[in-house]
Chains A and B, each alone.
Chain A
Amino acid sequence: MKIAAEDITPVAFTVALFVIWEAACRFFRIDAFILPPPSAVFAAAAQYWWPLLKNSFVTLWTTVAGFLLAVVFGIALGLLVGWSRAIYRGLYPVMIGFNSIPKVAVVPILIMWFGIGEIPAILTAFLISFFPIVVNVATGLATTEPELEDVLRALGASKLDIMRKVGIPRTSPYLFGSLKVAITLAFVGAVVSETIGANAGVGHLMVQAGSNFQMPLVFAGLLALAIEGILMYAVFAVLERRMAGWAFRASMSAAG
């Protein structure tokens, strides 16, 4: 297999970023306490690989748990909202209002309710990520072509039939597109909650390292988060291609 220049560029840019970072730290003699050079960050990552890995797993599972809750709840609510105009009108403003609350502000409440631990992280991940799922599922349903609906209704199709044969399959590209966004948000939510109050997770590790003035370890934590985030995004990007590939092709020849 030939490797095209396009496939190399992401790697090249990543390497370049680290090289520039390292060079800048050395050239400007930046204090390692302010911005540790990548060499120090990697050294810290190698030294503390076990705590990093262990806490990454905690963050991963809280993220995934919150995300799965969001998927189940988001799809159900999205179908409900997309089902009828009345529900749409009633619920939409409520959801907008709910979504505009910064979730960081909710974390202390969750900690008061459920105590320090994984549950606030899971719930924050859930709260922050369900909204895009709801909106996308509802949009997919709401934008069904009226003519297509007429075709089916003239055949005697019930609302449930139209939903099953057209609405839900039609929604799938919207859904998978939103999952990509939602998993990233869930991750943000979990980490935010961990930095505020938890006894495990990468966010917790970073706060601890910060209070011990171990800046290289804080940055190693950031690096771990970045890698985890990219991996999760990639999984859902691939899933999207697999499950709703037709949408990428169909949009190219929508006319006719």
Chain B
Amino acid sequence: MIRLDDVTLSYKGRTGEVTALAHTSIDVKRGEFAAVVGPSGCGKSTLMKLATGLIRPTKGAVSLEGQLVTGPVKMAGMAFQHANLLPWRSVLDNVMLPLEIVEPHRSRFRREKAAYRTRALDLLGVVGLRDFADRYPWEMSGGMQQRASLCRALIHEPALLMLDEPFAALDAFTREELWVVLRDLWQRLGFTVILVTHDLREAAFLADTIHVMSARPGRIVETRTVDFPRPRPLEVCYEPAFTDLVHQLRGKIAEVRQA
């Protein structure tokens, strides 16, 4: 579905040319849950911007469903470490924001507001926020804001969901809770995910494939397939095979950090 073909990205920094990403190739199939892990500053976020067409590669090509990406892809949902909800909108209105922008919803929005409202409420229901729809973001905890942010990323049923360390600012319990929320949403809706994270357990629990990146300039140094059966219960995280996988990934990252 989305394909990065020998992509290099460099930009002019204050101390000269900086290469954020070098000769990176990734292929994510439709409906696949891909995770990208790596040491900090390895260009993971750059990778996300490239995949959504927010920035253009210096060399190489990015393509989406066989089409060359030349500008913002107009169909991706995104969520970041900070929920970035708009404080002047209620949770429900925040979730409905993409519907006011993406076609074909945009032109239908006024006429079918009631239907869209129901749809947003249903989605909020899935993540357990139905009763908080009329609250404002500041009235909610960080974990709840992040759930709302996920809903906002998914309300227009994008084929592609990009997550940039979405749970990094949360405490361990809330994080695991949200893993389950994301797992269920993904299983229900079947979109394609690229999850950028530095949490190896998160990647191992959620993803089908894990791409390990090296330190700057970022490069994919290893791609692992994770074949724990689905649906995965949280208990998977305590199986020896899981621990082994995380351990190996950790070793790999320690290796590339040294280099």
Sorting the interface of chain A by its residue count into under 10, 10 to 19, 20 to 34 or 35 or more gives: 20 to 34
Assess whether A250 is in contact with B101, with CB atoms less than 8 Å apart: no
Cβ of B73 within 8 Å of any chain A Cβ, yes or no, is: yes
Contacts of B98 in A (CB 8 A): 155
Asked if residues B76 and A155 are in contact (CB atoms below 8 Å), the reply is: yes
Q: Is the CB of A155 within 8 A of B101?
A: yes
Chain B residues near A102: list those with CB within 8 A. none
In contact, A153 and B72 (Cβ under 8 angstroms): yes
Contacts of A165 in B (CB 8 A): 86, 97, 100-101
Asked if B75 is at the interface (CB within 8 A of a chain A CB), the reply is yes
Do A145 and B76 have beta carbons less than 8 Å apart? no
Render B34-60 as a binary contact track against A, CB cut-off 8 A, 1 for contact. 000000000000000100111000000
CB–CB B156/A249 < 8 A: no
Q: How far is the CB of A164 from chain B (nearest CB, A)?
A: 9
Alpha-carbon separation in the docked complex, A9 to B23 (Å)? 70
B8 at the A/B interface (Cβ < 8 Å)?
no
Q: Does B201 contact A (CB under 8 A)?
A: no
Q: From residue A237, how far is it (CB to closest CB) to chain B in Å?
A: 19
Knowing A148-B84, A150-B54, the reply to whether A157 touches B101 (Cβ < 8 A) is yes
B138 and A154 form a contact (CB under 8 A):
no
Q: Are A256 and B142 in contact (CB under 8 A)?
A: yes
- In the complex, chain A residues 110-169 whose Cβ is within 8 Å of any chain B Cβ: 145, 147-148, 150-157, 161, 165-166, 169
- Chain A contact residues, majority secondary structure: helix
Assess the B101–A249 pair: CB atoms within 8 A: no
Interface digits, A164-182 against B, CB 8 Å rule (1 contact, 0 not)?
A: 0110011010000000000
B18 to chain A, nearest CB (A): 18
Residue of B nearest to A255 (CB): B142
Is A252 interfacial (CB 8 A cutoff)? yes
Asked if A246 is at the interface (CB within 8 A of a chain B CB), the reply is: yes
Considering the complex, give the chain A residue whose CB is closest to the CB of B99: A155
Q: What residues on B are CB-neighbors of A172 within 8 Å?
A: 88
Q: Is the CB of B74 within 8 A of A155?
A: yes
Return the chain B residue nearest A164 by Cβ: B100
Interface size on B, residues (CB 8 A): 36
- Selected from B101, B137, B169, the residue in CB contact (under 8 A) with A152 is B101
Known: A154-B73, A154-B76, A246-B88. A147 touches B102 (CB 8 A): no
A147 touches B84 (CB 8 A): yes
A148 to chain B: which residues have CB within 8 Å? 84, 86
**B145, A155: Cβ atoms closer than 8 Å:** no
- Please name all residues of chain B whose beta carbon is closer than 8 Å to the beta carbon of A252 when the two chains form the complex: 138
Q: Are B101 and A166 in contact (CB under 8 A)?
A: no
Cβ of B55 to closest chain A Cβ, rounded Å: 10
| Most chain B CB within a 10 A radius of its CB, from A172, A247, A249 | A249
**Distance in Å: Cβ of B22 to nearest Cβ of chain A:** 23
Given contacts A153-B72, A154-B162, A256-B145, contact A147 B82 (CB under 8 A): yes
Q: Is B128 an interface residue (CB 8 A)?
A: no
Complex A-B: 20 CB contacts under 8 Å: A147-B82, A148-B86, A151-B78, A151-B79, A151-B152, A151-B153, A154-B78, A154-B162, A155-B72, A155-B74, A155-B77, A155-B98, A155-B156, A156-B101, A156-B102, A157-B101, A250-B87, A255-B142, A256-B145, A256-B169
Chain A: residues with CB nearer than 8 A to chain B?
Answer: 145, 147-148, 150-157, 161, 165-166, 169-170, 172, 244, 246-247, 249-250, 252-253, 255-256
| Interface contacts beyond A152-B101, A154-B73, A246-B138: sample of 7 additional A-B pairs, CB < 8 Å, sorted by A | A153-B54, A155-B98, A155-B101, A157-B101, A165-B100, A246-B87, A256-B82
